[in-house]
Amino acid sequence: MTTIETAPKTTPALDAHALEHPDTLVELYRRMRLIRQFEDRASRLYKTNQIPGFLHLSIGQEASAVGACWPLDDRDVVTSTHRGHGHCIAKGLDVDGMFAELMGKETGTCKGRGGSMHIADPRKGIFGANGIVGAGMPIAVGAGTAAQLKAEGAVVVAFFGDGAVAQGVFHESVNLAAVWDLPVIFFCENNGYAEFSSAADQHRATLKDRAAGYGIEFHSVDGNDVTAVAALQTELVERVRAGAGPMIVEAATYRWHGHYEGDPQSYRVEDELAEWKLRDPLEVLGARMRAAGLAERIEAVHADVDDTIGQAVRLANEAEYPVAETAGDYVISERTFIPEPPVPTEGVWKTMHSITAALTRELDDDPSVFLAGIDVGEGGNVFGLTRGLAEKYPGRVRDTPISESAIMGTAVGAAMAGYKPVVELMYFDFIGVCLDQLMNQAAKLRFMTGGAASLPMVVRTQFAAGKSSGSQHSQSLEALLAHIPGLTVVMPSTPSDTYGLLRAAIQDPNPVVFIENRLLYGMKGPKPADDHIVPIGKAIVRRPGADVTVVSYSAMMQGCLAVADRLAAEGIDTEVIDLRTISPLDFDTILTSLKKTNRLVVVHQAVGEFGVGAEIAAKAVREGFWYLDAPVVRVTAAQSPAPYSPVLEKVWLPDEEAIEAAIREVLDPDPSK
């Protein structure tokens, strides 16, 4: 049944006899039967509208789930797919909570926040079913990284379907796991169809061919024979625990139901399902058990499982739905209060040095912190910000391939496994190639797990315009990320705040995107104390004033302060507020200032429409309408991509002249002049 397609490394003797023990066979059968009955009942509940939302079932694939998880223990982690009920049950999740979750009840595994496609319990090493095809694989790489750093022999199994092989994250994840020699088994359940399309129509290379390309082992197995899967997986898990590195397993199986419940299945080949049902995983094992005289124990399993399923459904039906007032719970983890530190006035250092110092301090203080990214190790970062750290912290400062999605997923998985990863996205403009791992994974997993998942991770990135970097290396995209609930977005403007906010971000229990302006790397400012730390989500008044409020952040803050100083000579008293954190937005500080000045200007380098300034203006009109004596004015980049030509870029960028004009406009808003 099992073939090993490449020469294996030294392999310990497999105790195949143990899998033939009657108690083992009964337990394998029980787990498969539990999955089968769970999904059969779920199908019926869906048809009677007791389960809302989408439902994807794995009936027919029980052997691959049970066999793949058979040798796993509490150390180990699995990541799953949108068809993940079987994986969750095989890893030990109770069906009481799962039925309640499918019904959207408060007693559900994820408190009704996840549903069928997103069931997870990180406390049991179940890092989640996933509604995005292939998205669990980068997370598995992160969990594997944590396992490698912890060095306790943990193994990660990343389940995926044959359709996910066409996703870029498959390549990025397997390649990174191979480069880092991670303890990850990529387990493909090849059920013959990628949604509605035959697998034969989707690929021109086999998984065996692909594995050879990544330089890792490939193994195939009959996915409908649970003992064959368990035997292979027992061998591989033991070897991976011992350091054999990542592997790919392909289990040939078949799903009896459609891609989703209600799928008309017009793509099925006639008689194909009937042929596969002759190889029903439960019947394959059941026949062997009956031949071994275990018929009575099979019937006992049936009765026990039926009771378990019946009770679980009853409890789920009786459970309450979440209270409406809790709809916004679990979006972010509660932050530890950090008082505003004194503003440093002595010493001198550059922003670039503050970044290196903050990373060094956190690496020193917390062994769960590690850095990863393109050229952050031997290269020391493209701007030299991490130079020397790889030598000082071996294994905790890691170079990656150019694989942004895998890098972000590594952060997600490692954070869920208890680490505090700091990963680097070389340019902010590249956010588009890895947005899923931030938008659909990092930002949502705490919410979708009902608070069970913790995501203490930082994404460091940088941007700037003004030096002819062109349209794909100049973008200020903070509004895009600030629009995603669950993400924290930080943009410092001074060396001391960069140090204090980066330290706070690394210590924070939430996913933080830390955005630096590369044109500030050489900026000099006072050097704070080593224990300096700045609260996230709190703006600061950089310059008090009484006539007009100017709100900005990042590099534009310097221009605002320069204009305010010049206007002071004319008797115009400008209050300048530095947001520092874009999301969550500290509007209270803005409103307090607006009550005093009655006029508001917002300045940022990003384009204006649908931006941070627009959000602040909307809040000012809603919450501060009665204090406004003039319209809110925004000073932003023009509504076009960043030009390359210096002449065009100068026109495109907001400058001090535009800031000054806006201040004068709100001070004298008479349109007739």
Cα three-residue angle 308-310-312, rounded to 5 degrees: 70
Kind plus residue range of the DSSP H or E element containing 287: helix 281-291
Contacts of 630 (CB under 8 A, 6+ apart): 598, 599, 665, 666, 667, 669
Torsion angle of the four alpha carbons 20, 23, 27, 30, in this order, in degrees rounded to the nearest 10: 110
The yes-or-no answer on residue 259 being catalytic is: no
| SS3 label, residue 445 | helix
**Residue indicated by tokens 């199908």:** 43
Per-state percent for the chain, helix, strand, coil, to nearest 5? 45, 15, 40
SS3 category, 367: coil
- C-beta atoms surrounding 222 within 10 Å: 22
Per the residue annotation, which of 172, 189, 362, 404 is the catalytic one? 404
> Of 82, 473, 532, 604, which one is the catalytic site residue?
473
d(CA 230, CA 21) in angstroms, rounded, equals 13
75, 143 Cβ separation under 8 angstroms: no
Cα–Cα–Cα angle for 51, 60, 260, rounded to 5 degrees:
40
The helix/strand count (H/E) of the chain reads as 23, 22
Handedness of CA 532, 535, 536, 539 (dihedral sign): negative
Of the CA atoms within 13 Å of residue 64, those in its CB half-sphere come to 31
Whether residue 538 contacts residue 581, with contact meaning beta carbons closer than 8 Å, is answered with yes
Q: Is 404 annotated as catalytic?
A: yes
Q: Is the dihedral of CA 35, 41, 45, 47 positive or negative?
A: positive
Token duo for residue 9: 């490394």
Helix boundaries (H) for 427-492: 435-436, 445-448, 478-482
Structure letter (DSSP) for residue 333: P
Other CB atoms within 10 Å distance of the CB of residue 197: 15
The Cα–Cα gap between 627 and 623 comes to: 9
Q: Which residues are catalytic?
A: 404, 473
